[in-house]
Each structure stands twice: as C-alpha cells, then as structure tokens.
Amino acid sequence: MKTTSRLLRRPAAVVAVAWLVLLTVATACAPLIAAHGPLDQDLSHVLALPSASHPLGTDSLGRDLLSRLLYGGQPALLAVAEALVAHLVVGVTLGLVAGYLGGWADTLITRVGDLLFALPAIIIVLVVLSVFPGNLHAAMITFGVLGSPGLIRVLRSRTLGIRQEMYVAAARVCGLSDAQILLRHVLPRLTSTVIVQAALFSAVAVIIQAGLGFLGLGAQPPAPSWGGLVADASQVIDRDPWMLVPAGVPLVLTVVALSMLGDAIRDSAVESWSVSKLATASAPPPVAKEHAEAPVPGALLSVRDLTVEIDGVPVVQGVSFDVMPGETLGVVGESGCGKSVTALGVLGLVPGNGRVTGGRVVFAGTDLTASPTELARVRGSGIAYVSQDPMVALDPTFTVLSQLREAVRRHSGANREQARERVLELLAMVGVPDPEGVAGRYPHQLSGGLAQRVLIALALAGRPKLLIADEPTTALDVSVQKEILTLLHTLQRRTGIAVLIVTHDWGVVATLCHRSLVMYAGQVVEQADVESMFVRPLHPYTAGLLAANPHRAAHGHALTTIPGTVPSPREWPVGCRFAARCPYAGDDCRAAPVALTGPAPARLTRCLHVEELVSEGARL
Ligand SMILES: Nc1ncnc2c1ncn2[C@@H]1O[C@H](COP(=O)(O)OP(=O)(O)OP(=O)(O)O)[C@@H](O)[C@H]1O
C-alpha cells in the first residue's frame, strides 16, 4: 500500500497507468466508442485523413481506423494477458521452488531454464504457428513459457536470500509446510520484483504479438489487429503516411507505458529504503511530544515514559510503547537491558526494592498507575503473566487442579464443579494430553514443558486480553521450546489475545511477533514491525544483535559478537548508551542524550547515524 502511494506520486507512473487504463477501457468499450464496424468499407473515402465521421481517418478499403484500432486492441491485449499468465505461472512457481528447495530441484530447474534460454523463442513460436495455423493463443502461451527462464533466475536468487532469513527458519521450526512458508513468508517479499518483471515482459509481449500480426500470423485478415494495421500502413506509406500514426503510435505508447511503469515500480520499491528518504533533514526529527505522550487510539496497552528504580537507581528510563488488541509485541535485548523490569513494571510488580517512579500505564483506557485498585483488578483478568521458570511460578504444595480452580473461581465466581470443568477445558486448550490425570498431579510430578502449559492455562483462567510472557521458553529443552511457541501462536490466533513477549531469541520474535521493541541499557533503542527490523535494522545495536543471532551462524565460522558489555545502570553515560560498543559513534553521540526519532514511517530509533548505517550496511 505504501509502495502504491509512493508509485502514484511519480508523474511518469501516473501517465503510464492512465494510458494503460484508457487503452483497456477503450478497447473493451469499442462498440460504444467506434461509430463504424471494423470491417465496414466505404470505398468513396479510402485513405482519408481524420474527419468528424472518421476521427483517425480510413485505410485503403475505406475502413474506419479508430474502429480497427479499438477492435484490434481486444485480441492484442488478450494475447499479452495469455503470455503474461503463462510467464508468471511458470516463472514464479519454478523460481520459488528452485530457490527454496535447492538441491536436485534447483539443479534440474536451472538446467531446464538454461536450455530454454538457449532456444530462439521467436523461431519456436513460428514453429508452433506452423503446427497450429493462426492460433495466436498457442503462440503467445508458448512465448510466455519460453520467456520465463529470466524470471526464474531473478526469483531463484531472491528466494535463496530470503530462505536464510530467520522468519523462514522459525516458520519451519513452527511446523508450517513448505507451501505455506512460500505463500506466507516468501512470495509477499517478492511482489514488487514480480510486478516489475511482469510489466517489462508485457512490453515485449506487445511487440511480439504486433510482429506476428504484421506477418499475418495472428488474427487473419480482414479481422483487425494492431500488427495488421501497421502492415496495411506500410503498404501505402508513399500515398498516405498519416496512416502510420494511428497504426503505430498506440503500439509505441503502450510499450513505453509498460516500460515506464516497470521502472517506476522498481524505483518506488527501492525508495522505501533509500537513504535520501531517511535523510529528509540533517538531524532526524525528534518524535512528536504528543506521539510520545498520548496513547495510540485503539491501543489495548499504552506505556508512556515508564521509569523504574531499584534501590534508588533507575534501571528502566522513559520507556514508551503500545500493544494493539490481538497483536504480539516482542521485547528484545541482552541480559540486563531492562526487559523483565519493564514487563513487571506494567503490572506494578517490580522486583526487590524497586518501584515505578514515573510514567503511565494505560490499559483498555484505564490509567493503572493512577489507581492501585484498578491495577489489582486488571491483574489476571485483564493482563496475565507467564514467567520464565514454571516450577518456581507453581505452588509445590497444591495440585494443578486446586491451583487452577482457585484462579478460575476468583475470576468467574463459578462453583467448585463448574470451576473443575473449566480447569479441564483450560488444560485441554493448552494441549495437555490427559487433563484429568494432570489435574491431580503436583508441580514436581510435571515435566518442564507440561508445567509451562499448566502455567499458561493458569494465566488464561481469568480470560485476559493481554498475556505478558517473560522468556517463556528459556528454562525448557529445545524440543519443548518449539511446542510452547507453537502453543502460544495457536492460542493467539484462536483467542485473539494480545501478547507482550520478552525474549533474547530472534527466532521467537520471527515466529510469534508482529512488532518488535529493542531495549538497551534501560531504554528503547528501536521499534518496528518485525519484517522491517529483520530486513533493515535502523539501530547499530539491533544490527549487531541480528548479526550475532546464532541461527544465522555459518558452519565452521566463529559466531559474530558485539564487542563489550551492557553498562550497568550506575554506569550509564550521558550520551548514547551504546556509543562505547558502536562502530558509528562520534562525538555528537557522546555529547548529549539521544532522542528516539522516527526516520521512516512506523519506525523509531535512538541513533544519530541512521543514514550511515543504512547506506553502509551493518558493520557489526
Ligand atoms: N531484584 C533485583 N534487584 C536489583 N537489581 C535488579 C533486580 N532485578 C533486576 N535488576 C536490575 O535491573 C536491570 C534490568 O534487569 P532486567 O531483569 O529487567 O533485565 P533483562 O533485560 O530482562 O535481562 P534478563 O534477560 O537477564 O532477564 C539490570 O541492571 C538488573 O541488574
């Protein structure tokens, strides 16, 4: 959508689209526009110049050129559409499969593509026409297929890159089939590439179909065709040069419009990440004060300027973010950056001698920081919490049934029997295989994964609208981690619950989250939708974390790391807190606190050197 509006701001694109729409509508409405039939002859007006009755003049048989142009446009556009569909079906399918599956499928498709590349397409098309005389459909479909190796190569190489992204690895871990991954995660990323290629191929297809018409191999005379019109015009060029104008100009304009459109789409897609776009001012504009303070309309949770102190030392400072209904927001960062304290601060449950000393937490329109009663009411019923270690969170002296029943009764007022039914329902909902049996067990009789499921069931007992999950898989085995992530994903989709998940695992972010918030030394340093953050981080710390992601490590190579460590809250510098570890840091970064800015739509970063980061790529 953003690319579309950027595209429509380009005059060349608007002109191209306007011409193509005009042409399509005019050819489709030929009977309404043309006053004469395409075959009607008026021998008293042969080779006439434009007049009121023949706006574009007539040909050597007195036939109306406007009519022949419009009616001839119908088979021309149909032929282009047929070639394009064949081109896209073959090119997109094989390009995706080759790039995604690799191995023998890639080798086979690449070799067949090379073979098709080596074949002279126009000769093969002529052979097809000799087998199926006058069959423009067969000719154009053949041309579409023969033109697909170029598209296959482009999409294969793009898919090879996307296949390495965390998204895809995480989606695979989550159990999505290859087809689902290709449709949901890979294809959307290739849309602008496919559209550009389609526009450019269409331009070539217009020329080919006109060429076939010119040679008399397409629509058979006297049926009108664009190529036929050019052929007629060339025969009378010495007597009536005007005829070349209505015959040739629409053809040229259509080819130029398609090429211009392809270029404009490509430029618009590139512009979305261009440095010039980010560098609209020498210093990025600070986030508007209103934006920082007012909750986003419709947000379920709005945290504004949250500051938390432990033992009188600020450990989280000026943190603001929103969680929309049904959204999953991931909070990422190294150990000690303040993720857990932020999550607990939302619930007013700061550990140790900590307390929230500033800011607001607004949940479903209610300011929780202003009302301890509201905060207590919301805990469990509005906002639920799942901690890292389920064994610690469950009371070892009570059975699962008794702990869950207590929570259900507290939130719903159900009697014992009703509450028991609801407990079994909750256990089944979180994928506990034998709800009756598990309900009777004590926490120490549960495996880690089962205990985490029970804890999630406990969190869901009050039918909350927001689930805060603090590293819910950290204490679990790798295989169980996957199960719990899948469970959270399923619950989120089934119940529409919003999730705020604290993690240091990009795989979790890629699997579960819509947006992500990166924290460093008690501050938010970057916020963006997950895909944008993965593709183009706008803070060196995010770039470093992504580069250090173990899922991306190549076999036999040392893991990339960010040099240095997170400063402790007592050592936070005046300026950028990441400066000591940042390859882009200058004196400007160290001089004064760096504000959170919005250098691109829906993105926030706390960095003065975003342009450099974007133009050079991450050095970390
Ligand atoms: N109970 C506590 N007493 C004193 N300081 C604490 C306590 N809990 C957290 N802190 C401090 O608060 C800061 C933020 O800690 P927090 O646990 O939020 O980090 P985190 O990003 O969640 O890291 P982790 O992933 O290790 O949990 C750290 O400097 C930490 O030392």
Q: How far is the CA of 325 from the centre of ligand 1 (A)?
A: 28
Tokens at residue 70, please? 């419009």
Per the listing, tokens 């086979």 go with 108
Q: Say if ligand 1 is within 6 A of residue 352 CB.
A: yes
Contact 153 CB / ligand 1 (< 6 Å): no
ipTM over 0.85: yes
pLDDT higher than 50, residue 92: yes
Model confidence at 149: pLDDT above 90: yes
Q: What integer pLDDT is reported at residue 281 of this predicted model?
A: 36
Q: Is 339 in the pocket of ligand 1 (CB under 6 A)?
A: yes
Instruction: Tell me the average pLDDT across 356-364.
Output: 92
Task: Give residue-wise pLDDT tens across range 102-134.
Answer: 889 999 999 999 888 888 888 999 999 989 888
The ligand 1 atom at the shortest distance from the C-alpha of residue 338 is 18
Cβ proximity of 514 and 530 under 8 Å: yes
Contact status, residue 526 vs residue 542, Cβ threshold 8 Å: yes
27, 77 contact by CB (below 8 A): yes
How far is ligand 1, taken at its centre, from the CA of residue 373, in Å? 27
Q: Which atom of ligand 1 is nearest to the CA of 569?
A: 29
pLDDT digits (tens, 9 = 90+) for 567-620: 999 999 999 999 999 999 999 999 999 999 888 888 999 999 988 888 776 444
Which residue, by CA, sits nearest to atom 9 of ligand 1?
341
For atom 3 of ligand 1, the residue with the nearest CA is 352
**Choice among 16-30, 108-122, 143-157, 175-189 with the minimum mean pLDDT:** 175-189
Is residue 338 in contact with ligand 1, taking CB distance under 6 Å?
Answer: yes
Output the pLDDT for position 283: 39
In single-letter form, the type of residue at position 394 comes to L
User: What's the 431 CA to ligand 1 centre distance in angstroms?
Assistant: 32
- The mean per-residue pLDDT over the stretch 403-430 comes to 90
Of all protein residues, whose CA lies closest to atom 2 belonging to ligand 1? Answer: 352
- One-letter amino acid at 383 equals I
Over residues 326-347, the mean pLDDT reads 93
Kindly give the number of the ligand 1 atom that is closest to the alpha carbon of 333.
21
224 C-beta closer than 6 A to ligand 1:
no
Closest ligand 1 atom to Cα of 351: 1
**Segment 193-223, tens digit of pLDDT:** 898 899 999 999 999 999 998 988 877 778 8
345 CB under 6 A from ligand 1?
A: no
Ligand 1 center from residue 306 Cα (angstroms): 15
317 lines ligand 1 (CB under 6 A): no
Centroid of ligand 1 to alpha carbon of 508 (angstroms): 20
The residue contributing the CA closest to ligand 1 atom 16 is 338
In contact, 526 and 539? CB cutoff 8 Å: yes
pLDDT(275) > 60: no
Whether ligand 1 lies within 6 angstroms of the CB of 152 is answered as no
Query: What is the average pLDDT across 87-111?
Result: 92
Atom 29 of ligand 1: nearest residue by CA position: 336
Nearest CA owner, ligand 1 atom 24: 335
pLDDT, residue 529, reads: 93
Span 431-481, pLDDT tens digits: 898 999 999 999 889 988 899 899 999 899 889 999 999 988 877 777 788
Does a cis peptide bond (omega within 30 degrees of 0) precede residue 396? no
Residue identifier of the C-alpha nearest atom 8 of ligand 1: 351
What is the structure's pLDDT at 620?
Answer: 47
Residue 341 CA, closest ligand 1 atom number: 18
Q: Which two tokens stand for residue 528?
A: 């963006």
Taking the CB of residue 584, how many other CB atoms lie within 10 A of it? 22
Separation of CA 310 and ligand 1 centre (Å):
9
CB of 315 sitting under 6 A from ligand 1: yes
Cα distances from 508 to residues 318, 399, 486, 489, 512, in angstroms, run 25, 31, 10, 10, 6
pLDDT at 279: 39
Residue 270 is predicted with a pLDDT of: 59
Q: Which of 315, 344, 385, 568 to mutate to test the pocket of ligand 1 (most atoms within 8 A of CB)?
A: 315
Instruction: Answer yes or no: are the C-beta atoms of 322 and 506 closer than 8 Å.
Output: no
Q: What is the pLDDT of residue 554?
A: 59
Q: Which two tokens stand for residue 67?
A: 């009519």
With bands split at pLDDT 50, 70 and 90, how would you rate the model's confidence at 493?
Answer: confident
Higher pLDDT, 288 or 61: 61
Mean pLDDT on 557-561:
73
For residue 46, the number of C-alpha atoms closer than 13 Å in the C-beta half-sphere is 7
Does residue 282 have its Cβ closer than 6 Å to ligand 1? no
pLDDT at site 407 = 86
Q: Which residue has the tokens 């119908």?
A: 74
Q: What pLDDT does residue 256 have?
A: 92
Alpha helix (H) ranges present in 9-102? 11-28, 30-33, 65-101
CB of 565 within 6 A of ligand 1: the answer is no
User: In what helix (H) or strand (E) does residue 526 lie, and over which residues does it extend?
Assistant: strand 523-529
Instruction: Give the span between the Cα atoms of 264 and 199, in whole angstroms.
Output: 10
**C-beta 258 within 6 A of ligand 1:** no
What domains can be seen in the chain, in order of their start residue? Answer: 2-274 (1.10.3720.10), 291-382+462-535 (3.40.50.300)
Residue 86: the pLDDT is 96
SS3 of residue 10 by DSSP: coil
State the virtual CA torsion across 233, 235, 239, 245 in degrees, nearest 10.
20
Confirm or reject: Cβ of 262 under 6 Å from ligand 1.
no
Contact 466/498 with Cβ under 8 angstroms? yes
- What proportion of the chain, given as a percentage, has pLDDT over 70? 91
CB of 568 sitting under 6 A from ligand 1: yes
- pLDDT-derived band at 361 (thresholds 50, 70, 90) equals very high
In the prediction, which pLDDT does 54 show? 92
pLDDT score of 295 more than 80: no
In 3D, which of 287, 281, 348 has the Cα closest to residue 526? 287
Kindly state if the Cβ of 335 falls inside 6 Å of ligand 1: yes
Mutate to test the pocket of ligand 1, among 316, 339, 505 (most ligand atoms within 8 A of CB): 339
Q: Which of 334, 340, 388, 577 for a ligand 1 pocket mutation test, highest count of atoms within 8 Å of Cβ?
A: 340
Question: What DSSP character marks residue 182?
Answer: I
Instruction: Using the predicted structure, report yes or no on whether residue 269 has a pLDDT greater than 90.
Output: no
Q: Is the whole model's pTM more than 0.80, yes or no?
A: no
- Average of per-residue pLDDT across 215-243: 87
| Each residue's pLDDT tens digit, 370-413 | 888 888 888 888 999 888 777 777 777 789 998 899 889 888 88
Residue 563: helix, strand or coil by DSSP? coil
Rounded to the nearest angstrom, the distance between the alpha carbon of 340 and the centre of ligand 1 is: 7
| pLDDT higher than threshold 70 for residue 551 | no
State the average pLDDT over residues 3-22: 83
3-state secondary structure of 501: strand
Contact by Cβ (8 Å): 78, 71:
no
Residue that wins the pLDDT comparison between 286 and 497? 497
Quick check: CB of 475 below 6 Å from ligand 1? no
| pLDDT, mean over the chain | 86
pLDDT in the model for residue 285: 40
Q: Look at residue 288 in the predicted model and tell me its pLDDT.
A: 41
| The pLDDT value given to residue 176 | 58
Among 307, 309, 310, the mutation site with the greatest number of ligand 1 atoms within 8 A of its Cβ is: 310
pLDDT band (50, 70, 90) for residue 165:
low
Q: Determine if ligand 1 sits within 6 Å of the CB of residue 539.
A: no
| pLDDT score, position 56 | 93
Q: For residue 318, what are its two tokens?
A: 């000026």
- Between 228-237, 277-286, 435-444, 461-470, the lowest mean confidence (pLDDT) is in 277-286
Rounded to an integer, the average pLDDT of 278-284 is 39
Checking if the pLDDT of 273 tops 50, the result is: no
**Cα-to-centroid distance, 336 and ligand 1 (Å):** 5
Indicate the DSSP class of residue 522: T
